[in-house]
Amino acid sequence: MAKTFDLLLINGTVVNHDGEGRRDIGVAAGRIAEIGDLSGASAGETIDCAGLHVLPGVIDTQVHFREPGPTHKEDLESGSRAAVLGGVVAVFEMPNTNPLTTTPAALEGKLARAYRRMFCDHAFYVGATHQNPKDLGELERMKGVCGVKIFMGASTGDLLVEDDAGVLDVLRHGRRRVAVHSEDEFMLRENRKFARDGDWTSHTEVRTAEAAVSSTKRLLRLAREAGRRIHVLHVSTAEEIPLLVAAKDIATAEATPQHLTLAAPDCYRALKGLAQMNPPIRDARHRDGLWEGMRLGVFDVIGSDHAPHTREEKAKPYPASPSGMPGVQTLVPVMLNHVAEGRLSLARFVDLVCHGPNRIFGIAGKGRLAAGYDADFTVVDLKRRETISNAQQATRVGWTPFDGMAVRGWPVMTIIRGRMVMREGEILGPATGEPVRFQETV
């Protein structure tokens, strides 16, 4: 008797735990039911993926969608549109909103705002403050929470835990992995005097490599003292790589496409405020150091750190210009271009944006292309050549630092829990994103 599925993906090159090979995928009730030769099967819908690569659904573990708060820059709806257009099936959204995501009511409010408005699946970070460490154990176990976030250096918003005693207090409450923006706030304050009006190249003199390295040294020491797993976000310096190599038992690490692709001072001369983010894009020596860390396997995930501001805001003369840039829609094509140019393998890319998020955050049912997991797929054309442009961007601010960049490799379909959400640059149907589930709280 012929097997019957809700959905069949046939003739594609599947990239999963078995490697890369021609396989079919059968989907039933929103989950992967079978992988292999399904030529004799039937389905309610069949998608021919000949010439395409079928990846596990890409997960972006660091985005700032600005809602509630300055939604003229972005909101959960527009940010999730950008995500699925970029091949992303799920996002982890940051807590530096207004109000801050530091209470049960704020978390429940975000989940309510996301309901039937977000096109991708989603989870939210809890923000750590000096006031809420004793509540973090309860907060981190709420529905739709991916973990706790500490800002050791001030960035956009009002979240900041800059001192060792405060960081240690946070790390001693709760059990799940804590994500950290690692820059030394005391050094950043001292360095403000080095900001030159209208000169974005001075951003690296204000937010120095030394500030990042100092903070990460402190963070690793405190994490060991507390016995707590940590995740170091948007690593930006070559000197942090050996520190992380020595701390793989307690620390995972993230790189961003921006830090792996752009380099100072050229990016500031070409893009001015559009290249400004925290921690900064640094010179080619640091970029090369990050790629060496990638080669060594130090990085566990790639996150976009999607953090949009309007062009008008970005046009303010430095240091009045805000830090942050869009990235959720360009993560996949920018990194696939690095694959095409031989900087990393396709298998390594999948590990960084699928298996890595699953592994370090303990995601339930996502991040692997395997039987029993959610039927999440990012289908890509590795031969397709496109030019990234501002006009393509669904983010509310309508620009990207990669405008004009020619790439090889492009997301052509985004399938979430067995439902086609994006095909060939078109979003299909209403928003049906759901909260991501986690093994520690399922």
Among 241, 257, 295, 304, smallest CA distance to 93 is for 304
H helix intervals, 327-426: 331-340, 346-350, 356-361
* C-alpha 401: how far from chain center: 16
Let me know: does 59 contact 353? Beta carbons within 8 Å.
yes
Two tokens at 342? Answer: 């031989």
HEC string of 254-287? EECHHHHHCCECHHHHHHHHHHCCCCCCCEHHHH
Does the active-site annotation cover 305?
Answer: yes
- The three-point CA angle 281-284-289 to 5° equals 90
Alpha-carbon dihedral sign for residues 141, 145, 150, 154 = negative
Let me know: does 55 contact 86? Beta carbons within 8 Å.
no
Two tokens at 431? Answer: 């928003």
Let me know: does 111 contact 436? Beta carbons within 8 Å.
no
Two tokens at 328? Answer: 């959720």
- The three-point CA angle 46-49-55 to 5° equals 110
Please name the residue that has the structure tokens 């054309």. Answer: 381
Among 93, 115, 10, smallest CA distance to 377 is for 10
The answer, yes or no, to whether the previous bond of 104 is cis (omega within 30 of 0) is: no
What are the φ and ψ backbone dihedral angles of 67, each rounded to 5 degrees?
-110, 130
What is the rounded radius of gyration, in angstroms, for the C-alpha atoms of the chain? 21
| Given the residues 305, 374, 376, 381, the one annotated as active site | 305
What are the φ and ψ backbone dihedral angles of 389, each rounded to 5 degrees?
-140, 155
Among 360, 379, 361, smallest CA distance to 369 is for 379
Strands, sheet with 301-302, edge to edge from the N-terminal-most edge strand = 58-63, 88-93, 121-127, 145-151, 178-181, 230-232, 251-255, 301-302
The residues, ordered by sequence, that sit 6+ positions from 193 with a Cβ below 8 Å of its Cβ are none
Two tokens at 22? Answer: 């021609």
Catalytic sites, residue numbers: 305
